[in-house]
Amino acid sequence: MSDQSISGGAGMPDSWQRLWAPHRMSYLEGENRPLAGNEIVCPFCRIPSLDDEEALIVARGSQAYVVMNLYPYNAGHLLVCTFRHVAELPDLTESERNEVQALTAHGMKVLRKVSNAIGFNIGINQGEVSGAGIAGHFHQHIVPRWGGDANFMPIIGKTKVLPKLLQESRAQLAAGWNQI
């Protein structure tokens, strides 16, 4: 290893290009996440008290709501959250489970119509060890997928290029929600 590689800031020399996304560090350090030792209120409990546009809520049911993910994997990445603060799927009532699934199915239809999504990743991370960023409040992910959306940027550069602002995606999805 040469002194130049260390002073250049990249560490060991290799053929990789580096794309830096320092804005993600705030999330990794706990921004908007209730963690041991901080006093952050559960965002999924707080969000429903806000105006839909401000909160990025796409739709509200009686027991759950659909909101844009602030840290999306893809444009249009939605979360279906229960209003009630419960951590895991077995803690939900039957009617909550039914509404979460109905909102998920409807969200998929809206994403297909509004953004031409051709596939989806639907997922629930239960517990911090599984990757749940907010482990204490149940939420299900709806990640729209398109052919070619997994290009070199996320695979090699570990950086996601989102073609729309969250507010634009939210407005488009909210407008299409009741048309399906």
Chain centre to alpha carbon of residue 72: 4
Q: Count other C-beta atoms under 10 Å from residue 94's C-beta.
A: 7
Strand order of the β-sheet with 139-145 is 57-60, 64-68, 78-82, 139-145, 119-123
Q: How far is CA 91 from the centre of its chain?
A: 22
Given 77, 106, 139, 141, the catalytic residue:
139
C-alpha angle 16-18-21 in degrees, rounded to nearest 5 = 150
Is 139 catalytic? The answer is yes
Asked whether the beta carbons of 144 and 77 are under 8 A apart, the reply is yes
Q: Which residues are catalytic?
A: 139
